Amino acid sequence: MKLAREVTLCRLCPRLVAWREEVAETKRAAFRDETYWGKPVAGFGDPAARLLIVGLAPAAHGANRTGRPFTGDRSGEWLYDALHRAGFANQAESISRDDGLRLSDAYVTACARCAPPKNRPSPEEMEHCRPYLEREIDLLARLRVILCLGQIAFTQVMRLLGSRGATLPRPRPRFRHGAEVILPRPFPVLLASYHPSQQNTFTGRLTRPMLRSVFSLARKHLP
């Protein structure tokens, strides 16, 4: 896909270019025999998807290593397990780009396309990536629901939709797990979940039933 090629060639953010390539060179000991992707990570999934899942950014030793969103790390284990149980994925595991995983009616992407230091892309870096997310939304002609993983993704997507003419509720909806924002058509329904990061899953802030419940909610909007 043309957009995917453009994403992987992007070098707009010097800090992120340097970091992603340094990580790919030094590697983590557990993956020392692997060749890291070390480039921006394009979205992945069904081009006819009605559900779009938006995360924050590739993990340094996850997607930055494997080249596919939420692949090769603990966050992906939780996300794709939930997608599989909800009928959006043909398998629960996401290990590598050639592991046979296929998504049906779902597409996974992120606000930032490069792994950032300390998992914190700057506002300017996310603005550089914003056109990619806008174009993905335009290409997903059947889009009905956007599920945002984490507060930053929720804020960024709401701001993007507002800039495109969506009438946002007043007062502006706050991020919370299970938040549901119904926008006038043709804009999609906006849902929110805690990000399946280890910071949330190890502490019990996010449990597997909680994550699965958000996908059940998404299903209700996809008759």
Q: How confident is the model at residue 48 (pLDDT cuts 50, 70, 90)?
A: very high
pLDDT of 201 over the 80 cut = yes
CB 88 within 8 A of CB 191: no
- The arrangement of strands across the sheet holding 189-193 comes to 44-45, 106-110, 51-55, 145-149, 189-193, 180-181
CB 61 within 8 A of CB 72: yes
Domains and CATH numbers, the chain: 2-8+48-220 (3.40.470.10)
pLDDT of residue 1: 75
pLDDT of residue 206: 98
Rg of the Cα trace of the chain? 16
pLDDT of 223 over the 90 cut = no
User: Does the predicted TM-score (pTM) go above 0.95?
Assistant: yes
pLDDT digits (tens, 9 = 90+) for 159-195: 999 999 999 999 999 999 999 999 998 999 999 999 9
pLDDT of residue 218: 97
% of the chain at pLDDT higher than 90: 98
pLDDT digits (tens, 9 = 90+) for 122-154: 999 999 999 999 999 999 999 999 999 999 999
CB-based contacts of 92, cutoff 8 Å, min separation 6: 80, 81, 84, 85
Please classify residue 171 by burial: count the beta carbons closer than 10 Å to its beta carbon, then call 0-12 exposed, 13-18 middle and 19+ buried. Answer: exposed
Tokens encoding 63: 């997607």
Tokens encoding 37: 């992707």
Please give the mean pLDDT across all residues of the chain: 97
Mean pLDDT (whole number) for 205-223: 96
CB-based contacts of 115, cutoff 8 Å, min separation 6: 16, 19, 20, 23, 57, 58, 59, 60, 63, 64
